[in-house]
Amino acid sequence: MKRLIAVSVLALLLSSCSQKPAFEEMADGTCTKKQAQLVQEHISGQIDALAKGEWETAYSFASPSFRMAIDISRFVNIIGMQYGILIENQGYVFSGCTIANNEITQQVGVKGNSGLIDLTYTLSVKKSVLGVESAAFTSAGAQLGS
């Protein structure tokens, strides 16, 4: 029995070592299950940090190019003025995740007092590390503040 467990563990370790990182090869189209999971975890991390008022943590989920263009004080201002629903969200749901031209697009429905507001997140990948580039309201009549 111990030998069977040892062989099973060794096989699992060897198979996991041979797997490529989720974003090593990004083909245009629908995200793979693993890619979608990682994208959703990344966006969740940022939204959850915003809801807790952990600005530096939320800012860390932004891409390096975003952080070079927008400092943290401007980030705080933009979120507070335009994306209050993220701070005061009552939950969120994910739908479509797609890749085009090495850019990831994730649809997110954020629950607020006035219902579900749809956002489209755009993320980039540099050296297998995700970064949020932007979030835009998908609904034409979306209320920006909370």
8 Å CB contact between 146 and 85: yes
Q: What is the pLDDT along the chain (146 residues), one digit of tens a residue?
A: 445 444 343 333 333 343 457 777 778 999 999 999 999 999 999 999 999 999 999 999 999 999 999 999 999 999 999 999 999 999 999 999 999 999 999 999 999 988 899 999 999 999 889 999 999 998 644 444 43
Q: For residue 94, list its beta bridge partners.
A: 108
| Strand bridging mode 115-126 / 129-137 | antiparallel
8 Å CB contact between 108 and 121: yes
Report d(CA 118, CA 54) in Å as an integer: 23
Q: Which domains does the chain have, with CATH numbers?
A: 29-137 (3.10.450.50)
Global confidence as pTM: 0.81
